[in-house]
Each structure stands twice: as C-alpha cells, then as structure tokens.
A and B are shown apart, each in its own frame.
Chain A
Amino acid sequence: MAGLAGSKTHENLKDAFAGESQANSRYLWFAQKADVDGFPEIAALFRSIAVSETGHAFGILEYLAEIGDPASDEPIGDTEDNVKSSILSETYEYSEKYPIFAKTARDEGFSEIADWFESLARAEKSHALRLADALKSIS
C-alpha cells in the first residue's frame, strides 16, 4: 500500500496491534483467574474473546507485514523471512533488552524481578537457537 510506511496510520496500526496482542494475553490470564475463582462460564467467555482478539491482531498484521515486522522492522511475509525476523527479535531480547532490564531491576532493588528477567533471557536464547536450526533446514 503506497505511502503507508511512516504515516500516522502506520503508527496507529502498530499501536492497535500491540493493544490486540496484549488483550489476548490479558484475557487468557483473566480466564485462568476466573477458573481458579470458580467462575467457569466467565473463564470460557474470556477465552472465546481472547481468540477473537487474536483474529483482530492477525488482521492488523496483514497490513503491517507489507512494511515490515512491527517488532524488528525486518521484512516478513514468507516463512524464511518470518524465521529470520524472529531470530533477530529473540536475539535482541536475550542479548540486550532483558540483561539491561535485569540490571535496572537489581539497581532499583527488585532482585526477584531481576531474576525473572535473567531467566526470560535464557528462554529467549533457546528460542533463537531453535529458530536458527529451522532456518538452516529451509534455506
């Protein structure tokens, strides 16, 4: 779509994508809580709406994909590009983002949160490695 890159609409699409993606996770978490709290019908409602939010996020991503991955700015669309972009975003998370977040948390005295960020970084690294293997198998 000509002229979409860098427009206010492009920014709004990214914002909307973040919102819908968050909504999915929030509602799945709310559903878990509703189960524990003994409201299975509300849990089911949250789950079904969560899946709808995924549909909304997919629809937004269809437009964003023409410009690039909203997370990494890399080209996405076909599987090889998608795997490459995922490796870059996972690598950024484990090598820069979460180590810095962990350090900040420790500096601010939140050692439990710092431990969680460090643990997350290790998990993201394993994702990056698995994706790198997958890339070798298709390119």
Chain B
Amino acid sequence: MTTIYDPHHPLYLDEADTRKELERVYDLCQGCRMCVDLCPSFPTLFSYVDMHDDRDSGKMTPAQQDHVVDGCFQCKICYVTCPYTPELHEWALDFPRLMLRADAMRYTNGHISIRNKMTTAVLGRTDAVGKAATRSAVVANVIMGSKPGSLIRKVVEKTSGISSVRMLHPFARQRFTTWFEKRPKIRVMKSQGDVVVFPTCVVEYQHPSIGHDLVKVYEHNGVTCSLASTTTCCGAPYLHSGDIDGFTKVAAKNASKLAQDIRAGKDIVVPQPTCSYILKKDYVDYVGGPDAELVSRHTYDAAEYLMNLHNRDGNSLDLEFTGVIRDSITYHSPCHLRAQDIGLRSRDLMKLTGAKVKAVQQCSGIDGLWGLRAENAHVSLQIAEKLATEINGADGDIVAGDCHLANTAICEQTGNQPIHPLQVMARAYGFIEEN
C-alpha cells in the first residue's frame, strides 16, 4: 500500500497497491464518518463496512470498493471538511485524489464499461461536440432542448448513456470567441490590468453571454482583455473519467500556450470553477514543470481577479452603479470554488452593489458529467433537490452562481435560471445582456 497522489509514481496505476490504499483510507473514513451526507460514496462505504461486526474495511470485495469509487463525482467537499488531509495530519488523506487514482487504475486495466466510455465520448469531447453543435445549434438543440423523459431523450440514453431525465444545456448560435473577434475594439482608459480570457467550453459553446458580460465589466474597470492563446477544453472530462493520458496531453499543450501569455505580461481569467480548479491545481500535478507552475500562480477565477483589484486600494473598481441593483441575492457557492480556498469572492463582489447576499453551499450533484450519466441521475437528482430546498428557503430576489453546470441543475429544480455573478455586476453597471 502506498499513499501516493503523484500520477507519475511507478505504483500509481498498480491494482493491488491501489486496492490496499483504498482499504487504508476506507478504514479511516469509517472511524470518522463525518462526510456521510455529502455524496453517495460515503453511505455506500459505511453500509459495506457495517455488514461485518468488526467493521473491517479489508473484508470489502473489489466490486464493493469500486461501488464507492463510482459514487464520487469529484466535488472535493470532503477534502474541504476533512481533518486528516496531507496539510493537516500524518494520515495524509485526500479522498477525491484517491478516487481519481482508482478511476485511472480501472481505466488503464480495462474495468470501465463501454457505455460509460460512450457517455464520456459524447459529452466529454466538449470541443468537438461544441463546434459541431454551435454550427448547427438549431438541430443540436432539438435534442438538448427536447423534454426530459421524451422519446428522443430515451433513444439518446440507450445509445450514449446520457440520462433521459436531466435538463441539458442548449448550445449557442455564436461562439464566445467569434463574438470577441467581431466586437468593436475598445481602448481601455487608465489600464489597471491585462488579462487573457480562457473562456471554457460552457461559455464558448453554451453560454457566451457570461463571457460578454465578463469582458464588459473588466474593460469598464480598466482591465484590458484578450483571448487566451488556447481556448480548447481544459481537459476535466478526461481526468474525471480516468483517462490520464488523454488529460495530460491536453493539459501539457494548454499549459505551454497559457505560459506564453503569462510571459507576455498577462494573467489568466476563467469564468467556470471546475476549469479554474484544473488550471490552478491539476496541471501542476499531472504535467508539472515551470509552465504548469506559472499557469497555477497566474490563473484567477473571474470574481477573484476583480476582488484582488478592489482589495489593493479600495478605489480600483467603479462603485457607481447606475443600472439594475438587486435588494437581495441568493448566491450558490460552487464546490470547485470552495476547494480553491480563495474565500467567497463572488459574494463579496456582488455585495459592492449594495445587495444583501446570502450564500448557499449545498452541492448540485452534477459535477461535470457525473450527474448526467444515466446510472447516476437518480442519486444526483436527490442531491440537486436538497440544493433547491436551500435556494427556495433563502428567498432572494434573484439567484446567482458561478458554475453554469450547477445553475442548469438549479433551473431544472426551481424553474428559475440563475445568472453568473459577473452578469449581476454587468446589469448593475447598466450593460444590457446580449443574445
């Protein structure tokens, strides 16, 4: 058994070694049980351990171990709450990273089902699907927009493994990068910063208006924006389905191009939490080297960058709001932003408009592809319902959230589409949403 989170370690993909490490960690988790209500992994784990009077996790079969791994959707909230992480305790427990290792080990050893691979191929190739779908958005949205539970969706589920009951994000007709290149050029007065926007697949193909508003709010505040040298997928879908080679290839290419932007004096701004997490944390672990380190140090979440600017002297952001000001906002704080340990910067940013902001921290249970896979949809929906109850209970005038995937789940559950915090700011400055 080796406690390793380094994917380059010779034993990282070794099945026997990984299974011994699963046994060690499962035993520690069953002694604490604090994470019982976070996701399906933990109740599954405890139910298997409780089948034996001596609570010996060593008696779990490989299939039972894998059942726990299948319940993890990489929300990282157990890591945020765990008292035994490598930074805090000699047990050096990083549950989500161990799940990534177990997934990679199974992927390498051919333990992943064909249907599971199909779902990854369809939803995970975000660039290929996104390019085709935005080009033929009218056709693509017949599928994406067809009613959950409809015949079309049932056929899609049978062939691809994408749940027939979940709401899917429709595709935009114009990609964010196309909009960016066509828009009238703006000269930023009193430049306070220089960034490249790494739009992420959700903003590029599905919700470019988040990107429009980001650029307008940044430029309004004296931050020059350009497109990142690479705007391809960060690689998260590969990593989260165990395809380490696929991920490392994409990540290495992106890290080298983004590092060129940074060496040209620019910072990187990312409007989707999962993707900023990947750039900040996972490129360092899987690619490593000076480029990945540089990218990690210079990547910012969209609200984080602005709040850093504001906190510098308190005068850097325009605090005159002549547009739509909300009295109260319910803010969904996404798991992958909480895992970045940067504070609730979007909440603080929206507070500058004078709004009262109430944060809700429940996970949406989507986490990339996990909640959209047919085999997970049922459990994921229960998690999303919990979030909806908290959102409805908070009763804000509007709901804001940085994660477009979680926002779709919130819309599915409550009927109201949340908006990105940068869009709240854009409306407060008086910018009108472009379609």
Contacts of A48 in B (CB 8 A): 31
What chain B residues lie within 8 Å of A54 (beta carbons)?
83
A62 to B262, CA, bound (A): 41
Cβ of B321 under 8 Å from chain A? no
Is there an interface contact between B83 and A51, defined as CB atoms closer than 8 Å?
yes
Are B36's CB and A58's CB within 8 A? no
Q: Verify A58–B81 contact, CB threshold 8 A.
A: yes
Q: Which residues of B contact A49 (CB under 8 A)?
A: 31
Q: Which residues of A contact B31 (CB under 8 A)?
A: 48-49, 52
Alpha-carbon gap, A59 to B34, bound state (A)? 5
**A51 CA / B31 CA spacing, docked (Å):** 10
A-contact bits for B11-45, CB 8 A (1 contact / 0 none): 00000000000000000000111101000000000
Q: Tell me if B84 is interfacial: C-beta within 8 Å of chain A.
A: yes
Assess A56 versus B32: contact at CB under 8 Å? Given A51-B83, A51-B84.
yes
Contacts of A59 in B (CB 8 A): 33-34, 36
Q: Which residues does chain A contribute within 8 Å of B36, judged by CB atoms?
A: 59
B89 closest partner in A (C-beta): A51
Interface size class of A (residues with CB under 8 A): 10 to 19
- Determine the chain A residues whose CB is within 8 A of the CB of B399 once the complex forms: none
The residues in B between 86 and 116 inclusive whose CB is less than 8 angstroms from any CB of A are: 89
Complex contact A55–B359 (CB within 8 A) = no
B83 contact set on A, CB distance < 8 A: 51, 54-55, 58
Tell whether, in the assembled complex, residue B34 and residue A56 are in contact, meaning their CB atoms are under 8 Å apart. Answer: yes
Any chain B CB within 8 A of the CB of A108?
A: no
Given the known interface contacts A51-B83, A51-B84, A51-B89, the answer about A58 and B359 at a Cβ–Cβ threshold of 8 Å is no
Across the two chains, which residue of chain B brings its CB closest to A60?
B34
Interface string of A23-56 (1 = CB under 8 A from B): 0000000000000000000000000110110111
Chain B residues whose C-beta falls within 8 Å of the C-beta of A133 in the assembled complex: none
Tell me whether A78 is interfacial, beta carbon within 8 Å: yes
Given A54-B83, A58-B83, A78 and B359 touching (CB < 8 A)? yes
Residue of B nearest to A53 (CB): B32
Return B272 CB to nearest CB of chain A, in Å.
24
Closest chain A CB from B308 CB (angstroms):
16
Give chain A residues whose Cβ lies under 8 Å from the Cβ of B359: 78
Give bound CA distance, A78 to B361, whole Å: 11
Contacts of B33 in A (CB 8 A): 55-56, 59
Within 8 A of B (CB), among A50-102: 51-52, 54-56, 58-59, 78
Tell me the complex Cα distance, A48–B83, Å: 11
- A56 partner residues in chain B, CB cutoff 8 A: 32-34
Q: Mark B37-66, 1 if CB is under 8 A from A, else 0.
A: 000000000000000000000000000000
Residues of A contacting B81 in the complex (Cβ-Cβ under 8 angstroms): 58
**Least CB separation from B361: chain A residue:** A77
Q: List, sorted by A's number, 21 A–B pairs whose CB atoms are closer than 8 Å.
A: A48-B31, A49-B31, A51-B32, A51-B84, A51-B89, A52-B31, A52-B32, A55-B32, A55-B33, A55-B34, A55-B83, A56-B32, A56-B33, A56-B34, A58-B34, A58-B81, A58-B83, A59-B33, A59-B34, A59-B36, A78-B359
Beyond contacts A51-B83, A54-B83, A56-B34: 16 other A-B pairs, Cβ-Cβ < 8 A, are: A48-B31, A49-B31, A51-B32, A51-B84, A51-B89, A52-B31, A52-B32, A55-B34, A55-B83, A56-B32, A56-B33, A58-B34, A58-B83, A59-B33, A59-B34, A78-B344
A-B residue pairs, 9 tightest by C-beta: A55-B32, A55-B34, A59-B34, A52-B31, A52-B32, A55-B83, A58-B34, A54-B83, A51-B83
